[in-house]
Structure 1
Amino acid sequence: MSDDCRGKASWPELVGARGVDAASTIERENPFVSAVIVLEGSVVDGQFLCTRVRVWVNTSGDVVDIPKIG
């Protein structure tokens, strides 16, 4: 992670939570990022952004990986 990123950087406590609830929590706890819900197995670009947190969810909508800035 870049030293330029501001605010909380990861949310391990959200693994297993509902994706939409996790996204709301992330954006509330770090107003400098936008949470993006992504279905597990989806192809995404490799670009690192301090303003984005990907919330990886399964087909049930539950978080399957630690959401973190990037």
Structure 2
Amino acid sequence: MSSECYGKNSWPELVGCEGKVAKATIEQENPAVTAVVLLEGSIVTADFLCTRVRVWVDCNGTVTKVPTIG
């Protein structure tokens, strides 16, 4: 599905970064998306949006999964 979305759609280089930094980087590199920082284990909807990137962080605010559009 991400091939239908505009611009960069995955940020593997941000794993291990601080969530706030990852959010700013993602939104700078792809202005068509809004990054949302979420604590691991949070309940989210299963819908797919080309305008959303979920940034999963641990209790220390560190990115734990590759942020991708969806």
TM range (shorter): over 0.9
In the aligned structure 2, how far is the partner of 1:60 from the partner of 1:2? 29
Identity of aligned residues (%): 61
Superposition TM-score, scaled by structure 2 size:
0.96
Secondary structure (helix, strand or coil) at the match of 1:54 reads strand
In the aligned structure 2, how far is the partner of 1:65 from the partner of 1:2? 17
Q: How many residues align?
A: 70
4+ long deviations beyond 4 Å: none
RMSD over aligned Cα, in angstroms?
0.8
Unaligned runs of 5+ in 1: none
In the aligned structure 1, how far is the partner of 2:3 from the partner of 2:9? 11
Structure with the larger helix share: 2
